[in-house]
Amino acid sequence: MIKVTRRSFSLMATAGIGGLVAGAGFAQPGFAAAAASAVDAAAVPKDITAKATKKYSIATVVKLDGIAWFDRMRVGVKQFGADNGHDTWMVGPSQADAAAQVGIVETLIAQGVDAICIVPFSVEAVEPVLQKARDRGIIVISHEASNLQATDYDIEAFDNHAYGAKLMENLGQQMGGEGKYIATVGSLTSTSQNEWIDGAVAYQVKNFPKMSQATQRIETNDDAATDYNKLKEILTTYPDLRGILGAPMPTSAGAGRLIAERGLKGKLFFSGTGLVSVAGQYLKDGDIDYIQFWDPAIAGYAMNVLAVMALAKKPIKAGLNLGLKGYEDIKNNDPKRPNVFAGQGWVGVTKANMGEYNF
């Protein structure tokens, strides 16, 4: 059987298997994807990370390869393997497409990997194939998928509703608590992103009653060009728009570009997920004031930690310290889902502190 490593998977994809692309991706300018040791793993308990007598093969499947967010996650995935003696790699479709992601998982099942870590584009689409993986004895660890049933463990960077509330707190302050805003999501079926918006809207209703959504959530497919074009259309339809709440990372760049081009600094405001490598210039120039994120490298590392623990049949429960920043005391916020955990891993970034982050 051909082993699906980073290179072989890419070659198979080029040959026509599902039109999928894996590999190095395309980092944004200033992106620190080449960092040899991006994750501070010194505090990870040695009984978790001690080099195993068995070398596990663990694939991390992401929504979309070739964008800065998942380029950064690849750094953590690769570092985990180097730190702990396992074969770890990351793959994803070249476009945000649920069927393509399912095809990747099918290939990994056929290969017989030990574990699959996954950031689903659509939870509904991957449920059957992930259950198939589990039926074959493959461990499944998920991220950004708190409602996924076919998973051994789900690890979130934080409580999703609290994350969204913080975004709205900042947007509401920028808007002076008044006016219309819109919200973007990568997919209307993306659980985590929609939970962020749910938390944001709940905070807005309670704390900024003079604000209102101009229209329903805008689906952008986690694509910067789609984000920008849809924001342009929205601004044409709603010229009095005052706020953009962005769940997917590319909205930060789309909103910043639109505000800069239209000279709307101080009139149209943004708060959302972003990376300094993607939105830093707009922060520096004052076109946008606030982005929020968690480190995808640490999230990728954390998923792989849980995968090895599950493979080694080590106990995973609330209160566990993974020894990673933001994951020192993982919580379970839903007693009905005892296998779903959350850390406290987000950071807020403005022009003042953007220099602290090089990704």
- The confidence score (pLDDT) of residue 17 equals 29
CA separation, residue 327 to residues 43, 158, 341, 347 (Å) = 11, 9, 10, 13
- Which tens digit of pLDDT belongs to each residue from 197-226? 999 999 999 999 999 999 999 999 988 899
- The confidence score (pLDDT) of residue 224 equals 86
- The confidence score (pLDDT) of residue 191 equals 87
The mean pLDDT of 152-177, rounded to a whole number, is 97
Instruction: Name the least confident of 93-97, 176-180, 227-231, 245-249.
Output: 93-97
Backbone angles phi, psi at 102, to 5 degrees: -60, -40
The mean pLDDT of 256-264, rounded to a whole number, is 97
Helical residues (DSSP H) of the chain, grouped into ranges: 6-14, 46-49, 68-84, 98-111, 123-135, 160-174, 191-207, 224-237, 250-262, 276-285, 296-311
Q: Is residue 20's pLDDT more than 70?
A: no
Query: What 3-state class would DSSP assign to 178?
Result: strand
Label residue 43 by pLDDT band (50, 70, 90).
confident
Q: What percent of the chain has pLDDT over 70?
A: 88
Beta bridge partners of 183: 245
- pTM of the predicted protein model: 0.83
Q: Is residue 141's pLDDT more than 80?
A: yes
Label residue 28 by pLDDT band (50, 70, 90).
very low
The mean pLDDT of 44-52, rounded to a whole number, is 68
Q: Exposed, middle or buried, 115 (CB in 10 Å: 0-12/13-18/19+)?
A: buried
- The confidence score (pLDDT) of residue 34 equals 38
Which of 51, 108, 100, 101 has its CA nearest to residue 80? 51
**Contact between residue 254 and residue 279 where contact means Cβ atoms under 8 Å apart:** no
Q: For all residues of the chain together, what is the average pLDDT?
A: 89
Q: Is residue 36's pLDDT more than 60?
A: no
CA separation, residue 311 to residues 148, 293, 305 (Å) = 20, 29, 10
Label residue 329 by pLDDT band (50, 70, 90).
very high
- Which tens digit of pLDDT belongs to each residue from 276-287? 999 999 999 999
